[in-house]
Amino acid sequence: MADPAPQSPLVHIRNVSKHFGEGETRVDALRNVSIEVYPGQVVALLGPSGSGKTTLLNVIGCILEPSSGWVKLDNEIVYDGRWLRSDLRRLRLEKIGFIFQFHNLLPFLNSIDNVAVVLNLAGYDAEEAKRRAGELLDYLEVGHRKDAMPAKLSGGEAQRVAIARALANRPRIILADEPTAALDSQRAGIVMDLLRKVAAEQQAAILAVTHDEKIFNRFDHIFHLRDGRLET
């Protein structure tokens, strides 16, 4: 299924290592990991618990500073021994959508505003932000819950709102940590199809951590991590 991609990769990391702590307590979470993900690709990150999957996503998402190696996003080197962008948050806002393992909605905003807030930050006016947020929620089949507060949503509903938020600003890179863990297999399939559609339509690169064997067939490529090392 992997398509032979002629373009340059959207996510390109080379020899990235990341360790936590020093000496006795040192944990090597990533060891010399190199990955390329091209526009339109949906790739899976697979591996046992503690193998470094979340760490890898955090490094790509510019949340964690690597210990060595370099990171290039959308043809821009953002890390090479140090961060080369002073405003990593702006970079995230513009280029990266996150779907967290735990949905992380803002508890004081209802569903639609949780999505709209990203659009507001990106400079949309209030009305336009609401309209687009509403469309996204409809698209993810949670439109009927748009006025509900996060605490009142089921796990699956909350996850779909979080996905809508990740997609809101049409990011080119979407990082998802177990996006379907809280969903039944039918909904998990729907979400994966949706992510595939987004990848195709927006020429986005999607990296998703998953344990869910039912959806393996929906990925273009699968990276296996073990003890912080990539297995091929």
Partner 1 sequence: MNLAYRDLRHNLGRFLLTCFGLSLLLGVVLSMIGIYRGLVEDALTLVRSPAVDVWVVESGTRGPFAESSRIPGDTREAIARLQGVIAAGSVNYQSVETLHQGAKRRLYVVGYEPGRPGGPDRVVSGRTIGRSHYEMVADRRAGFAVGDRVPLGRNTFTVVGLTDGQVASGGDPAIFITLLDSQELQFELAPPAARREIARGNGGGTTDTVNAVIARVSPNASPESVTLAAQRWKHLAAMTQAEQEIVLTQSVVERARKQIGLFTAILLVVSAVIIALILYTMTMDKIREIATLKLIGAPDRTIIGLIMQQALAMGMIGFGFGALLITAVKDFFPRRVVLQPEDGLALAAAVLLVCILSSGLGVRLALKVDPATALGG
The residue with its CB nearest to Mg ion is 54
Quick one: which segment of 5-13, 52-60, 130-138, 213-221 binds ligand ATP (CB under 6 A)?
Answer: 52-60
Q: How far is the CB of 45 from partner 1 (least distance, A)?
A: 15
Residue with tokens 């998703």: 208
Does 29 help bind partner 1 (rule: CB under 8 A)? no
**Of the candidate residues 107, 186, 217, 232, the single one contacting partner 1 (CB under 8 A):** 107
Number of neighbouring beta carbons within 10 Å of residue 183 = 20
Does 208 help bind ligand ATP (rule: CB under 6 A)? no
Cβ contacts of 138 within 8 Å, gap of 6 or more: none
**Of the candidate residues 41, 54, 110, 180, the single one contacting Mg ion (CB under 5 A):** 54
Quick one: which segment of 49-57, 72-80, 89-97, 162-170 binds ligand ATP (CB under 6 A)?
Answer: 49-57
Does 177 help bind partner 1 (rule: CB under 8 A)? yes
Identify what 222 binds: partner 1, Mg ion, ligand ATP, none; CB under 5 to 8 Å per kind.
none
What phi and psi, each to the nearest 5 degrees, are found at residue 91? -60, -45
How far from chain centre, in Å, is Cα 64?
14
Positions touching ligand ATP (CB under 6 A) are 20-21, 27, 29, 47, 49-55
Positions touching partner 1 (CB under 8 A) are 54, 58, 63-64, 89-94, 98, 100-102, 104-109, 113, 116-118, 120-122, 126, 149, 165, 177
